[in-house]
Structure 1
Amino acid sequence: MKTNIHVILKKEELDPSKINNKVVVVFDILLATSTIATLFHYGAKSVIPVENGEKAYEISNSNKEKDYLLVGEYEGKAIHGFLEPHPTAFKSEAKDRNVILSTTNGTVAIKKATTGKRVYAASLLNSESVVNDIVQSLKEENILLVCAGSSDTFCIEDFYGAGYFIECLKNEIDLNYTDSAKAAHLFYLAHRTNTVELFQESRVGKMLMDYGFERELEFITQHSSFEEVPILRNGELQVKEVVSRKK
């Protein structure tokens, strides 16, 4: 039996009332889900996605014993008192920490997807491992890939990420594509040899380049270099046991 796969082009199109029987995978390649994968790769215990800085402070102040690491931005600028959510910034900060993460789009998308049967955060960095985990646990659920987008606009980097995820997935199970899923896969195939350049030319990519974050763009375009699988449980992302990659 084939598994249905669909791609939503921006989080605003997501209807939480219609996903309780679906496996949901959220992409915010620049930069929230890439940051999440990297935080776990560097040893974070958990990542709590929140809608805004106020909610982050509320959670942090309600449980001071946990000594949360606050990471966040709004409209591309760091929230006062928070670390900037750029993946290369956490190597010495994340180990054994509980993180509260607030971003303009990615964490909002994850929060909106919480009604899904299983909810993952994926990026180029860890797509293959997330795919392997889904394949091992998949029964009869359909798969929904959610591109976070940027403030109600479409983002090509998330679309590319969904296409790459489909490329990994199609080698493991038979898929029945919607048009948006087929388009995402074809888009990935057309641009897989020029990922960095593509991202640099995207709207969000240009903004990051203006801020001097060329290193981050190059870092997050590493395809399936991490094995950590972030899955949402009781409102926070946790890492499942590392799934061995299929040879």
Structure 2
Amino acid sequence: MITKVHVVLRKEDIDETALADGKVAVVFDILLATSSITAALAAGARSVVPVYSAAEAEEVGRRLPDGGYELAGESEGRTITGFHPPTPLFLQTVCPGKTVILSTTNGTVALRKAMKARAVYAASLLNSPAVGEHICRAHQNETIIVICSGSSGRFCLEDFYGAGYFVHCLIEQGITAAELSDSAMAAWLFYRQYGGEGKAKEVLSSSRVGRWMAACGLEKEIDYINRHGALSVIPKLEPGPFGPEMRDMAQMKATREGKRQ
């Protein structure tokens, strides 16, 4: 079984050297990036490429066939000019059969910072049961680092809740409390207090990002994101066909085990 589960509270706290020592990373950005990645792959996107910036997104796009990709992203909460909004419900309308190049302030940055891990997955409330089951089967006896993206260096309530839900999913697969670090235990206890879609909606809507989304009229996106275990897609970071000049670039693809819905 997995020997240890640890939760990192912000992407700024990622220890890339430790990740490179055979760790498995699971990244959460509940509002929005990892929820959007999950939804896009479930809706039939060929892949999702997480990038650091709009400029990097455009550079990746120049290396892909015309008409084969869509640009989506935000910077500090504002949709990037010329890009699609990076929200799950909207992306599902434009992503089928396409590569989505995604730039966000936090989630895509966290995924890129986690690249030195042995394996990197994107998880959300939508797909945590599927990702948890896969990891317990494919990564036995490995240390799992659950990464909360946070928001521009700040702790995020919704990511902490998502991490707790994921830890709960691991426990349902047979992981024991003795295998949790204190941060993983804290996230799990928080989930046990607020678990379930009803209470979770209060957590999401009460968070700083959730309040901003509601003020922008994105409550339907929050409701969609709050669908615990609704999707079985398992997004995993894999090498991408971007040429030798972009060796540090990768793409999220659905594993064969993750069924598209």
TM-score bucket of the superposed structures, by smaller chain = over 0.9
Match of 2:183 in 1: 180
Cα offsets for 1:171-197 (capped at 9, x unmatched) = 213341111100000001111141111
Match of 1:148 in 2: 149
Match of 1:118 in 2: 119
Match of 1:13 in 2: 13
Match of 2:257 in 1: 242
The answer to whether structure 1 residue 204 and structure 2 residue 212 are counterparts is: no
Q: Which amino acid aligns with 1:23?
A: V
Cα offsets for 1:136-188 (capped at 9, x unmatched) = 11132100000000000000100000000011111213341111100000001
Tell me the secondary structure at the aligned position of residue 102 of structure 2: strand
Match of 1:158 in 2: 159
Provide structure 1 residue ranges, at least 5 long, that are not aligned to the other structure.
none
Distance 1:178 1:196 in 2: 27
Contact 2:2–2:142 (CA under 8 A) maintained in structure 1: no
Contact 1:2–1:173 (CA under 8 A) maintained in structure 2: no
Distance 1:18 1:91 in 2: 35
Instruction: State the shift of 1:66 in Å.
Output: 5.9
Cα offsets for 1:50-73 (capped at 9, x unmatched) = 011010011112334463110100
Distance of aligned partners of 1:16 and 1:74 in 2 relative to their CA distance in 1, 3 Å threshold? same
Match of 1:55 in 2: 56
Distance 2:154 2:16 in 1: 19
Map 1:91-102 to 2 at 5 A.
Answer: 91-102=92-103
Distance 1:146 1:45 in 2: 25
Distance 1:174 1:151 in 2: 32
Distance 1:25 1:17 in 2: 16
Contact 2:2–2:144 (CA under 8 A) maintained in structure 1: no
Tell me the secondary structure at the aligned position of residue 92 of structure 1: helix
Distance 2:65 2:183 in 1: 44
Size of the aligned set, in residue pairs, is 244
Tell me the secondary structure at the aligned position of residue 91 of structure 1: helix
Instruction: State the shift of 1:129 in Å.
Output: 0.6
Provide structure 2 residue ranges, at least 5 long, that are not aligned to the other structure.
240-249
TM-score scaled to structure 2, two decimals?
Answer: 0.90
Distance 2:141 2:202 in 1: 38
Percent identity over the alignment? 42
Map 1:24-63 to 2 at 5 A.
Answer: 24-63=25-64
Distance 1:134 1:179 in 2: 21
Contact 1:70–1:99 (CA under 8 A) maintained in structure 2: yes
The answer to whether structure 1 residue 191 and structure 2 residue 194 are counterparts is: yes
Distance 2:16 2:75 in 1: 23
Cα offsets for 1:89-121 (capped at 9, x unmatched) = 123311111110000000000000000001000
Distance 1:64 1:23 in 2: 32
Instruction: State the shift of 1:243 in Å.
Output: 4.8
Distance 1:243 1:214 in 2: 27
Match of 1:103 in 2: 104
Tell me the secondary structure at the aligned position of residue 110 of structure 2: helix
Distance 1:200 1:174 in 2: 30
Contact 1:28–1:149 (CA under 8 A) maintained in structure 2: yes
